[in-house]
Structure 1
């Protein structure tokens, strides 16, 4: 067996998923993640979003060839757009039976989040009537035990942890759907939504916010990856984004700074384009990066440009997936946008 295969096998043993186990208004506690030792100091994670079960995904073999220790779903893992539980279940079943994805699951730990189309309502939030039923189907798709505490809480937010002798990597899967307040429609042409400064509106909800703040504050990880189905930094386009709730963006920045968490990095999807966004935050000694990877089976091929003052490099508008390599010794992250044939389209490195 190759050394890389041995490392991958060992790492698969050490990754444990834990979820909030309290449904009260206080910060939810987490189950302890499973841990074991491994000699690997560079952790490779793959992620992507926007995947149609009735369209060919040519990327699964390429993703598997990178030998990631973890695959992260970034949302729109299927395109159901329905409150019909049977239809939703059938589409998840179809995805699980796709050979390339099945092989990936056999070799790689899987975690992640949903977005609107697998949630069940286009651009949907707290108003979706079938969200509780949809949550259970999502958890089934992710292979979560019927006895897992995630079955008892509202929302699909959860934590995953990768442990090595050199340090930890924490992954926080955010739910940007279940609690999200209604979006403010834009009156401008070619813009779907506009920022809403109403302080009572929320993106994550009180319980999830409290959970995330507690987790970041108590984190001992060298890197903390925050998985958001929608973009955190890109703020000028007229679609779904964190910037539609400016006070929630500021709250996130304040929590990151106050927590003292190391190496916070956002991974996002939704847009059918891939790009890197980067900015500095006062009080933080490293930049915040939002790595958007979208989509897996279809992309915004008609893309002709849009502003993003935080963009680094160019927009990729072909099908692609993301690779994140976390060097725990050098405290460096290498981020790659790849397409069919493992062709490298763009790369960004950042030291922490």
Structure 2
């Protein structure tokens, strides 16, 4: 009996050791997988009182970050207490609360969470609205963003094999006026070249420093409004054409690696791509807009830089980065994780 007991004990120890080795191997394998790639998710245009079916889909991607591209809530008021109430309600959405517990969240605002539809520098409640936004983003009271004008910020996501930098622009606080367009189906037309600004002097200086000093493998510039699509009649960077030239020159001259632009606002999703003189890779503007609602009456609009088709149903954006291969795979994703469109770019 003693010999049988010893044999059984030896057998159990061997099984236990094999089981432990298997678990460790799986853990190491999972760690290696997570270190090989960065996964960034983002989206915009979210009504807190409408169902957002994507929070579980986003969490299922196991992303390194989720980026708000603006219109987090639809407040549209100069009552900053009401704006804060809308943000507080968004925080109570169960699946979003779960995402917030498990995933790093950053981003910027757009007009509806700013408080004024198509609003800019003229909005009288912008200082209070800024504090409500920062509260929602859990920014500490002693953070410098509490004192600066505008919600622009940057964060670095680090892994052993690389760095991703997220640069959140504020295209509202300093943006000067737009010119009404009288043509049917168009809201605005471009300002005269050199008139007005989108970012303002201080933010432009900050952005220049962020790009020129960046050692990241990829740099994501988050703009609530579209940068490359310049033919439609709504809000866009092209309404301030000198600002577009300034941004393109800065991206080209900064030496920053792998610059991509992420945008929202339009209630559609699309890829835009443009070759810039002096830049070794094409500049991509990935628009992901319509987390809870979309441009359902969309019937087409010109965009000379568009790659693929416009997605006019709710969706979110996802980017997979391969640091070693220096590639980014951009995906427009619908409910249940269905990939609606995909674009791969080498850098």
Task: Assess same fold via TM > 0.5.
Answer: yes
Match of 2:18 in 1: none
How far off its partner does 1:167 sit?
2.2
Count residues in correspondence: 323
Aligned-residue Cα RMSD (Å) equals: 1.6
Residue 238 of structure 2 corresponds to 243
1:6 Cα deviation after fit: 6.9
Are residues 66 and 3 of structure 1, via their aligned partners in 2, closer, same or farther at CA, if it must alter by over 3 Å? Answer: farther
1:325 aligns to what?
A: 320
**Equivalent of residue 302 in structure 1, options 294, 297, 306:** 297
Offset of residue 221 of structure 1: 1.0
- Give the Å deviation of 1:302: 1.1
* 1:273-352 → structure 2 map (5 Å cutoff): 273-352=268-347
Helix, strand or coil at the partner of 1:256: helix
Residue 215 of structure 1, CA deviation: 1.1
In structure 2, the partner of 1:137 is 132
SS of corresponding position for 1:313: strand
1:39–1:46: structure 2 CA closer, same or farther, 3 Å change rule?
Answer: closer
Q: CA deviation at 1:335?
A: 0.5
Structure 2 residue 203 is the aligned partner of structure 1 residue 220: no
Alpha-carbon distance in structure 2 between the residues aligned to 1:55 and 1:287: 37
Separation in structure 1 between the aligned mates of residue 58 and residue 246 of structure 2, nearest angstrom? 34
Q: CA 1:127 to 1:3, structure 2 compared with 1: closer, same or farther past 3 Å?
A: farther
Q: Where do 5+ consecutive residues of structure 1 fail to align?
A: 9-37
2:93 matches 1:104:
no
Give the drift of 1:200.
4.0
More helix by share: 2
**Distance change (3 Å), C-alpha of 1:300 and 1:331:** same
Whole-angstrom distance in 1 between the partners of 2:246 and 2:239: 13
Q: Which stretch has the larger CA shift, 68-77 or 159-168?
A: 159-168
- Sort the Cα spacing of 1:5 and 1:212 in 2 relative to 1 into closer, same or farther, 3 A: farther
Question: Structure 1 residue 68: deviation in Å?
Answer: 0.5
Equivalent residue number for residue 192 of structure 1: 187
The gaps in structure 2 that reach 5 residues or longer are 1-22
Question: Partner of 2:189: helix, strand, or coil?
Answer: coil
Q: Could you tell me how far apart the structure 1 residues matched to 2:28 and 2:184 are? A: 52
TM-score of the two chains, using structure 2 as the length reference: 0.91
> Deviations 1:165-184 (Å, cap 9, x if unpaired)?
22211110000000000011
Report Cα offsets for 1:210-268 as digits up to 9, x if no partner. Answer: 01011111111110100000000000000000000000000001111111111100000
Contact 1:39 1:165 in 2 (8 A): no
SS in 2 for 1:45: strand
With a CA cutoff of 8 Å and minimum separation of 6, indicate the structure with the bigger relative contact order: 1
| Preserved contact between residue 175 and residue 199 of structure 2 (Cα < 8 Å) | yes
Map 1:105-184 → 2, pairs under 5 A: 105-184=100-179
Equivalent residue of 1:216, what SS? helix
Aligned: 1:234 with 2:241: no
Name the structure 1 match of 2:197: 202
Partner of 2:45: 50
TM-score by length of 1: 0.89
3-state DSSP of counterpart to 2:310: strand
